[in-house]
Amino acid sequence: MAFKVPEAKRVTFHPAFGPMDISMGNNGVFELYHKATGRTLYCIASDGLGWEHVSVSVKGSSQTPAWADMNFVKDQFWGEEDAVMQLHPPKGDWINNHASCLHLWRPYFLEIPLPPSAMVGVKGIEPEDVERIGARKLREIASQELTGVTL
């Protein structure tokens, strides 16, 4: 699915960027209320230099966005089945202009490679099932799923 901005949530004026409207395309500032966490998320979106990008911070707070916040934002700008990533670059490339801001990225022309799902966990097993099934059985199921997978 293509990168899309939640146009109805666009901020129409920003002190640093000035007036903003639909003519900016997928670039701009957006405020999203995440009902599940009760937070307003401040998002700056851009698409250029081969990348789709959204920076995310919690409005009026020094808290870092939670996983649930980032997942919510991801689904507002991309489709539920799109792979999007957070990056941890080499320390020498770190840039930290905002201590509690996280970023989502997707390259234009490359599909993001994903590891075999069994390296993460077992599909169809919910967190509340883990204790009932037991760690040994989960490892056994994951090992069976990885049989024949070329790494």
Per-residue model confidence (pLDDT) at position 1:
66
Helix (H, G, I), strand (E, B), or coil: what is residue 30? strand
In the 8-state DSSP scheme, what is residue 85?
B
Q: Which residues, including other chains, have CB under 8 Å from residue 86's CB and lie 6 or more apart?
A: 70, 102, 103, 104, 105
Low-confidence ranges of the chain (pLDDT < 50): none
- 77 — phi, psi (to 5°)? -105, -20
Per-residue model confidence (pLDDT) at position 59:
94
Helix (H) or strand (E) holding 72: helix 67-77
Per-residue model confidence (pLDDT) at position 81:
92
Q: How far is CA 128 from CA 99, 125, 140, 143, 149, in A?
A: 34, 8, 18, 21, 28
pLDDT (tens digit, 9 = 90+) per residue, 12-39? Answer: 998 888 888 888 889 999 999 999 999 9
